[in-house]
Amino acid sequence: MATTALSVAGVSHGFGDRPALIDVSLDVPAGSFTVLLGLNGAGKSTLFALITRLYDNVSGEIRVFGHDVRRAPSAALRQIGVVFQSRSLDADLSLLQNLTYHAALHGFGPASAKARAMELLAAVGLADKARDRVRALSGGQARRVEIARALLHDPRCLLLDEATVGLDIGARESIIALVRDLVARQGLGVLWATHLIDEIAPTDRIVVLHKGRVLFAGDHDTLLAKTGLPTIRDAFTTMTSSADANSAGGAGHEGRADG
């Protein structure tokens, strides 16, 4: 049985009287590229904030390689690397300075921080730009640095929230290929949040999140078989439209994962 990198079970969250997540359950196996597919406002960023403890989950359970994020946050967060949607590098520092600063926060000494930073810059194809300022980078290159930063402490679970937003198609494809390669070479469990259906590959696991509810969780072929439709785009459109119609009609909708 595959090791579970990330497990979310029965998690709900709201802001005041507005629900953002409703009984959300999903798993990310180690060594898998799992796509969290949802339109803007589906609750993807809220879920990431709960997983990373920016928000406190007061219902349900979130575990990272078995560590509960509420009861053992340090052990859980040590296993997680995160690339958030908003850009967060210091534009006036070099790539190397950005990475060594964050390496120090993880307890690296100066020499080991520099060595680890250079190792990761090489891994993302930017070693030759180590001393360039971040402001001189393209959007795709900056994302590569953020991925390198997320990997500094050698996590086994990587979360990426709309990591390709604002990038051209070439940069998007390059970032996705880089992350898929990390899954293949290092066995990382990746949760890739996106609203872009063309970022999904036939080998991916897919979680459909819509208006705070999980409508489906399983593999590519199972989603097509479940809906009887030929493409993921058709399946997603039909599934979300049906959920909206049920909601408008006052019918309840089951929010737990299907797989």
Q: What is the mean pLDDT of residues 73-78?
A: 96
Distance between first and last Cα of the chain: 14
pLDDT tens, 94-106? 999 999 999 999 9
The number of helices, as runs of H, and strands, as runs of E, in the chain is: 8, 10
Report the pLDDT averaged over residues 104-113.
95
pLDDT value at position 259? Answer: 33
Query: What is the pLDDT at residue 208?
Result: 98
For residue 7, give Cα distances in angstroms to 4, 14, 18, 26, 120: 7, 20, 24, 6, 27
Distance CA 154, CA 202 (A): 28
Q: Does domain 1-79+156-259 have CATH number 3.40.50.300?
A: yes
Determine contact, residues 214/37, Cβ cutoff 8 Å.
no
> What number is the average pLDDT over the span 191-206?
97
- pTM of the predicted structure, to 2 decimals: 0.92
Q: How far from the centroid of its chain's Cα atoms is residue 15's Cα?
A: 22
Q: What are phi and psi of 238, to 5 degrees?
A: -65, -45
Q: For residue 76, what pLDDT is reported? A: 97
- 257: confidence class by pLDDT, cuts 50, 70, 90: very low
Contact between 82 and 48 under an 8 Å Cβ cutoff? The reply is: yes
> CA–CA separation, 203 vs 176, rounded Å?
14
Cα 238 to Cα 227: distance, rounded to the nearest angstrom: 8
Q: Please, is 17 exposed, middle or buried when counting C-beta atoms within 10 Å of its C-beta (0-12, 13-18, 19+)?
A: exposed
Confidence of residue 160 (pLDDT cuts 50, 70, 90): very high
